[in-house]
């Protein structure tokens, strides 16, 4: 477990992001940018804040763990956009930022007066990133996006779950998280393009598009053959054996990636003849005999305790690992060595543990500079950088900010 501290400059130090998003995809994007050093200001409604503040239990001193898990490295302010002065304040802030990140319903910013023409006139260098459910074109473009619905609609659920069971969603909001990652990528691309053009641009990432892209090799196989995909449980559509098996004491995952690995596995399990049998010799042949291969391998694996089996297979270059619970995974020595659990001080919670960042940059390291902000925690601090004290007090009296 690692203590966080102020670090040297990150890769995005000097860039300023106005994060108008809420729930997961947008906040995840903002958090990634913040991890890399960007100065991220999260804007919320003074009445209720980000929806995820209410998504619990669990709560820590009134803060939901869901919200805490996707909003570090941000300063938080509140603005009531239902009031004209709230929109005026937004117009004042936008030109001071490099990026505006939003996931409002399509047309919301335009309805408020912030169309492309406004950006070109008033904030020509700003990159505006819109995260939408279904994009800005197409028959579903006006629908809101929900991760669970997108997992179902895209076909992702149809390839998850037991072979003879019902389609199953992923255990976390994978479409939201992947969309946030895509958004962070496209924002950085637009910022790089700005060095050449001198101008920002409007970029768009849709949950629908991301969910279709996540079909990856499965979608590619359908396009190549015209055949629909199906579920394989924990198995792989084009590699065998590649699934979970019971060792003597617990479930393990085994991933045989090539014929050489299969031959080595056969030798270790005391059946070198498998590798020369034409029914099992090649991956293509093993796919044709999937059930038989999985059964014979499984019978041998369950004779060996995982504490002996896993080191033995790894020593021989065979990909294998235990099927851990979340608690087990977060307690492993390697998780701690990779600094994937961080602890830092939160003003109301005290010591707060969060998952670490997977972004490891050796010359411009990532760091946690701010814990997830309380609602409106930095409103005074941030607005003081752009407005005089009299104007801030006026806005507070009129409940435009809190």
pLDDT at 347: 93
pLDDT at 392 over 70: yes
Is 233 inside any structural domain? no
Is 320 inside any structural domain? yes
pLDDT at 4: 45
- Which alpha helices (DSSP H) does 82-146 contain, by range? 84-93, 108-111, 116-122
Question: How many other C-beta atoms can be found within 10 angstroms of the C-beta atom of residue 313?
Answer: 22
pLDDT at 8: 63
- Nearest Cα to 247, choosing from 318, 320, 162, 334? 320
pLDDT at 34 over 90: yes
Per-residue pLDDT tens over the stretch 137-179: 999 999 999 999 999 999 999 999 999 999 999 999 999 999 9
Residue with tokens 């459910």, as numbered in its chain: 133
Q: Are residues 70 and 10 in the same domain?
A: yes
pLDDT at 3: 44
Is 261 inside any structural domain? yes
Q: For residue 155, is it left (φ>0), alpha (ψ between -120 and 50) or beta?
A: left
Task: Order across the sheet with 2-3: list the strands.
Answer: 2-3, 341-346, 350-355
Q: Are residues 380 and 276 in the same domain?
A: no
- Nearest Cα to 18, choosing from 34, 35, 42? 42
Per-residue pLDDT tens over the stretch 35-69: 999 999 999 999 889 999 999 999 999 999 999 99
Q: Are residues 309 and 391 in the same domain?
A: no
Torsion of CA 224, 227, 232, 235, to 10 degrees: -20
pLDDT at 5 over 70: no
Q: Are residues 355 and 318 in the same domain?
A: no
Q: Are residues 146 and 44 in the same domain?
A: yes
Containing 311, the helix (H) or strand (E) segment is: helix 306-315
pLDDT at 115 over 50: yes
Question: What gap in Å lies between CA 373 and CA 39, rounded to an integer?
Answer: 13
**Please, which pLDDT band fits residue 344 given cuts at 50, 70 and 90?**
confident
State the average pLDDT for the chain. Answer: 95
Is residue 74 a contact partner of residue 376, using CB atoms and an 8 Å limit?
no
* Tokens of residue 305, six digits: 């305790």
pLDDT at 6 over 80: no
Range of the domain at 184: 2-214+348-397
Is residue 102 a contact partner of residue 131, using CB atoms and an 8 Å limit?
yes
Is 276 inside any structural domain? yes
Is residue 44 a contact partner of residue 76, using CB atoms and an 8 Å limit?
yes
pLDDT at 192 over 90: yes
Task: Order across the sheet with 74-78: list the strands.
Answer: 74-78, 39-44, 16-19, 99-102, 127-132, 202-206
Is 336 inside any structural domain? no
Determine whether 249 is exposed, middle or buried from the number of CB atoms within 10 Å of its CB (0-12, 13-18, 19+): middle
Q: What is the CATH number of the domain that holds 303?
A: 3.30.1540.10
Q: Are residues 318 and 364 in the same domain?
A: no
Q: Are residues 304 and 259 in the same domain?
A: yes
Question: What gap in Å lies between CA 203 and CA 197, rounded to an integer?
Answer: 15
Per-residue pLDDT tens over the stretch 200-253: 999 999 999 999 999 999 999 999 999 999 999 999 999 999 999 999 999 999
- Structurally, how many domains does the chain consist of? 2
Is 222 inside any structural domain? no
- Nearest Cα to 247, choosing from 322, 328, 334, 343? 322
Is residue 261 a contact partner of residue 269, using CB atoms and an 8 Å limit?
no
**Contact partners, residue 367, CB within 8 Å, separation at least 6:** 4, 5, 6, 7, 10, 35, 37
- Nearest Cα to 19, choosing from 7, 9, 11, 27? 27
Is 103 inside any structural domain? yes
Q: Are residues 255 and 159 in the same domain?
A: no
Is 323 inside any structural domain? yes
Question: What gap in Å lies between CA 228 and CA 221, rounded to an integer?
Answer: 9
Q: For residue 55, is it left (φ>0), alpha (ψ between -120 and 50) or beta?
A: beta
Active site residues: 176
Per-residue pLDDT tens over the stretch 284-340: 999 999 999 999 999 999 999 999 999 999 999 999 999 999 999 999 999 999 999
Q: Are residues 6 and 138 in the same domain?
A: yes
Q: Are residues 319 and 276 in the same domain?
A: yes
Q: Are residues 209 and 281 in the same domain?
A: no
pLDDT at 7 over 60: no
State the average pLDDT over residues 249-271: 97
Q: What is the CATH number of the domain that holds 168?
A: 3.40.50.10540
State the average pLDDT over residues 249-261: 96
Q: Are residues 369 and 310 in the same domain?
A: no
State the average pLDDT over residues 371-380: 96
Compute CA distances 173 → 146, 147, 371, whole Å. Answer: 9, 6, 22
């Amino acid at each position: 477990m690692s203590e966080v501290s102020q670090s040297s400059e990150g890769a995005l130090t000097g860039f300023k992001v106005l994060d108008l998003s809420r729930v997961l995809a947008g906040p995840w994007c903002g958090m990634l940018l913040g991890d890399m050093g960007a100065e991220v200001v999260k804007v919320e409604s003074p009445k209720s804040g980000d929806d995820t503040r209410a998504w619990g239990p669990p709560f820590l001193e009134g803060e939901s763990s869901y919200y805490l898990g996707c909003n570090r490295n941000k300063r938080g302010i509140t603005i009531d956009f239902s009031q004209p002065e709230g929109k005026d304040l937004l117009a004042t802030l936008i030109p001071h930022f490099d990026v505006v990140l939003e996931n409002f319903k399509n047309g919301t910013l335009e309805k408020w007066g912030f169309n492309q023409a406004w950006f070109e006139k008033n904030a020509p260098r700003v990159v505006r990133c819109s995260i939408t459910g279904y994009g800005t074109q197409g028959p579903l473009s006006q629908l809101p996006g929900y991760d669970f619905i997108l997992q179902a609609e895209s076909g992702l659920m149809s390839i998850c779950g037991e072979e003879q069971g019902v389609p199953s969603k992923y255990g976390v909001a994978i479409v939201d998280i992947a969309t946030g990652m895509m958004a962070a990528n496209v924002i950085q691309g637009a910022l790089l393009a700005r060095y050449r053009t001198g101008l920002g641009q409007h970029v768009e990432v849709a949950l629908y598009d991301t969910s279709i892209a996540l079909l990856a090799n499965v979608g590619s196989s359908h396009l190549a053959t015209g055949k629909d995909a199906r579920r394989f449980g924990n198995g792989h559509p084009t590699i065998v054996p590649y699934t979970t098996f019971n060792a003597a004491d617990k479930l393990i995952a085994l991933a045989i990636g090539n014929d050489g690995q299969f031959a080595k596995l056969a030798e270790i399990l005391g059946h070198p003849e498998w590798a020369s049998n034409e029914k099992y010799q090649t991956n293509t042949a093993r796919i044709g005999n999937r059930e038989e291969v999985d059964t014979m391998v499984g019978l041998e694996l369950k004779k060996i305790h995982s504490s002996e089996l896993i080191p033995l297979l790894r020593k021989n270059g065979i990909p294998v690992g235990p099927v851990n619970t979340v608690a087990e995974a977060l307690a492993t020595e390697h998780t701690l060595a990779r600094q994937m659990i961080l602890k830092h001080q939160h003003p109301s919670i005290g010591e707060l543990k969060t998952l670490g960042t997977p972004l490891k940059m050796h010359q411009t390291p990532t760091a946690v500079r701010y814990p997830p902000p309380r609602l409106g925690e930095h409103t005074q601090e941030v607005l003081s950088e752009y407005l005089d004290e009299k104007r801030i007090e006026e806005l507070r009296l009129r409940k435009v900010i809190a």
